[in-house]
């Protein structure tokens, strides 16, 4: 079905790409129609414009770059971007100086304490932490040499430390999920090793970390206090989710219209200066209704199943660790379901849409069947 000529671009796509395209352009059509009943049509038109741009971006990337060479280039580029971002973040933390794109500059927010939070190239610290969680796994694709492994592991640990300093709880949960999934998959065949070696080591590390910092106990007490006393980010996020679901049912499950979540926020949330959903799933459900939401969930899970299939059936080569790439793609795509709960709104950010394109690109490489394991 696919041509072996590198210069030709076949018109046929993998099923994961096809269902993604169907969803994206149905999403565009539905969102365009939803402008009609949107309370703020200007915001709705703006969001549909961004959705069009990102849909075309995904289409072009997948069509033009579905070769293994481009996956390798992406991994190299990701390391460069990551290293630059980490250096900028460390500089921010140590000096308190931020880029003009940071909310600390735009809103003239002062910070107290010995160290400052980091925003990198993004608007706020949650946006940075969200980016670190979904792109960090790809660092380990380029770990062929031992010295590279040490460098990438150091960058990963530094990313985790930055999220801790930023107090991004969702990002930290995302990192813990990644690490746990990594260990389970890697040691699944060696069940004794998982039971007798990995589990005790992890338990000891967690106990030692908790005894030194008390971070888990403190966070649990803080979250409980915020919910019971009705203050803080946790309580407000719960109210935002309730608000989104209430507006969904008020719209007869059709959605409030593109970008109109904040138009319908309740007074208690508005007074707290929080109008964005801070939850990708609630944002899609509230703005676009159950049809687009269910469609996205189905496509999301189907892509994950294709990544798992690619991981099981592909092989590594001396040229590129393709099997390793699919494993890291699984970690990245899976953790998105968690890390997407941290940022105020990721709809207008390129980070998720680019990840979607890269994931589809990698599945297209798999569908060519050139790098499959030979049957025994």
207-263 tens-digit pLDDT? 776 666 666 666 666 666 666 666 556 677 777 788 888 888 888 899 899 988 877
Per-residue model confidence (pLDDT) at position 66: 81
**pLDDT value, residue 314:** 79
pLDDT band of residue 89 (cuts 50, 70, 90) is: very high
Task: Specify the pLDDT at position 189.
Answer: 63
Number of DSSP helices (H) and strands (E) in the chain, helices first:
15, 0
- Give the model's confidence band at 287: pLDDT under 50 very low, under 70 low, under 90 confident, else very high: very high
Provide the percentage of residues in the chain whose pLDDT is more than 90.
34
The label of the residue with tokens 């400052």 reads 116
Q: Are 34 and 44 in contact (CB under 8 A)?
A: yes
pTM of the model: 0.85
Cα distance between residue 239 and residue 242, in whole Å: 5
User: Can you give the pLDDT at residue 312?
Assistant: 86
pLDDT for res 2: 39
Tell me the average pLDDT across 301-328: 83
DSSP string, 40-101: -HHHHHHHHHHHHHHHHHHHHHHHH--SHHHHHHHHHHHHHHHHHHHHHHHHHHHH----TT
User: What is the domain partition of the chain in residue ranges?
Assistant: 15-367
In this prediction, residues 312-327 reach a mean pLDDT of 76
Q: Which residues have a Cβ under 8 Å from the Cβ of 300 and sit 6 or more positions away?
A: 333, 337
314 backbone dihedrals φ, ψ, rounded to 5°: -95, 165
Q: Is 140:154 a contact under the CB 8 Å cutoff?
A: no
pLDDT at 166 over 60: yes
Distance (Å) of CA 25 to CA 51, 88, 275: 9, 37, 27
What average pLDDT does this structure show over 88-113? Answer: 82
Contact of 275 with 61, CB cutoff 8 Å: no
* E strand or H helix that includes residue 307: helix 280-313
User: Rounded mean pLDDT of the chain?
Assistant: 82
pLDDT of residue 195: 64
pLDDT at residue number 278: 79
| pLDDT higher than threshold 80 for residue 276 | no
pLDDT grade for 68, boundaries at 50, 70 and 90: confident
Residues 233, 264, 292, 276, CA torsion sign = negative
Check residue 212 and give its pLDDT. 61
Q: Residue 176: is its pLDDT beyond 90?
A: no
* Each residue's pLDDT tens digit, 129-154: 999 999 999 988 765 556 677 888 88
Q: 346 with 130: CB under 8 angstroms?
A: yes
288 touches 30 (CB < 8 A) = yes
Over range 285-307, report the average pLDDT.
95
């Amino acid at each position: 079905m696919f041509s072996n000529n590198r210069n030709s671009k076949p018109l046929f796509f993998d099923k994961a790409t096809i269902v993604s395209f169907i969803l994206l352009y149905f999403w565009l059509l539905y969102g365009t129609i939803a402008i009609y009943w949107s309370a703020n049509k200007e915001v709705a038109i703006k969001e549909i414009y961004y959705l069009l741009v990102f849909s075309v971006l995904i289409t072009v990337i997948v069509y033009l770059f579905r070769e293994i060479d481009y996956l390798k280039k992406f991994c190299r580029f990701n390391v460069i971007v990551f290293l630059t971002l980490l250096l900028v973040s460390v500089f921010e933390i140590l000096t308190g100086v931020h880029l003009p794109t940071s909310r600390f500059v735009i809103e003239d927010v002062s910070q107290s304490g010995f160290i400052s939070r980091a925003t990198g190239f993004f608007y706020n610290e949650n946006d940075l932490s969200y980016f670190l969680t979904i792109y960090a796994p790809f660092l380990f694709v380029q770990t062929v040499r031992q010295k590279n492994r040490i460098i990438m592991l150091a960058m990963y640990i530094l990313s985790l430390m930055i999220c801790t300093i930023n107090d991004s709880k969702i990002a930290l949960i995302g990192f813990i999920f990644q690490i746990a999934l990594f260990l389970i998959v890697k040691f699944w065949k060696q069940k004794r090793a998982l039971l007798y070696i990995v589990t005790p080591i992890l338990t000891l590390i967690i106990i030692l970390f908790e005894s030194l910092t008390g971070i888990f106990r403190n966070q649990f007490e803080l979250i409980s206090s915020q919910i019971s006393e009705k203050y803080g980010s946790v309580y407000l996020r719960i109210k935002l989710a309730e608000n989104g679901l209430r507006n969904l049912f008020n719209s007869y499950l059709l959605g409030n219209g593109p970008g109109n979540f904040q138009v319908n926020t309740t007074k208690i949330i508005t007074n707290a200066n929080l109008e964005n959903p801070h939850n990708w799933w609630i944002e899609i459900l509230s703005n676009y209704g159950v049809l687009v939401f269910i469609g996205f969930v189905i496509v999301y899970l189907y892509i994950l199943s294709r990544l798992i299939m690619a991981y099981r059936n592909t092989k590594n080569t001396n040229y590129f660790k393709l099997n390793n790439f699919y494993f890291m793609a699984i970690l990245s795509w899976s953790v998105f379901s968690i890390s997407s709960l941290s940022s105020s709104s990721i709809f207008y950010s390129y980070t998720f849409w680019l990840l979607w394109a890269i994931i589809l690109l990698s599945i297209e490489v798999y569908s060519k069947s050139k790098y499959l394991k030979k049957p025994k």
